[in-house]
Structure 1
């Protein structure tokens, strides 16, 4: 969450909206006092989350089945001490 002066918000509204679309909450202030809050639209965000979850499930189905030992072994092979 970040605060932006009303004069700056007026000047940079398109950039602020981009940030809000990415999930950021913006507090608009006037003379140091909060007067408004711009928050992501919840329905759009929920749909985006569901799409991402579906993509992750699809990706997992393409991955080979690995044991915990195989995963840990591969992890340790990458470290060079």
Structure 2
């Protein structure tokens, strides 16, 4: 991963875009602070697929867990000092 200033990114956008297409990740800074990251779309798509799979796995896991049947209660009963 390399870092370029916004001014350099603007001047050399086509070159940077080719590098990103070839697999390079580029962080763009403004006044020394990172503000954007250009990465190959394949990596971004792979991350999206992994997040979606993790979300489905979590939902499947939660569906298999038994629900707790705690009954109904109100606030007064919760703090009742019998």
> Given the two structures, how large is their TM-score scaled by the length of structure 1?
0.52
Structure 2 unpaired stretches of 5+? 47-82
Q: Which has the larger radius of gyration?
A: 2
- Can you give the 5+ residue segments of structure 1 that lack an aligned partner in the other structure? 47-81
Alignment correspondent of 1:30: 30
Which residue of structure 1 aligns with residue 60 of structure 2?
none
Q: How many Å apart are 1:31 and its aligned residue? A: 0.7
SS class of match (2:27):
strand
Higher helix share: 1
2:36 is the alignment partner of 1:12: no
1:21 and 1:35 mapped to 2: Cα distance?
20
Mapped to 1, the partners of 2:32 and 2:12 lie a distance apart of 18
> What aligned pairs does 1:32-71 form with structure 2 within 5 A after superposition?
32-42=32-42
Q: What is the total number of aligned residue pairs between the two structures?
A: 45
TM-score w.r.t. structure 2 length? 0.51
Moved over 6 A (4+): none
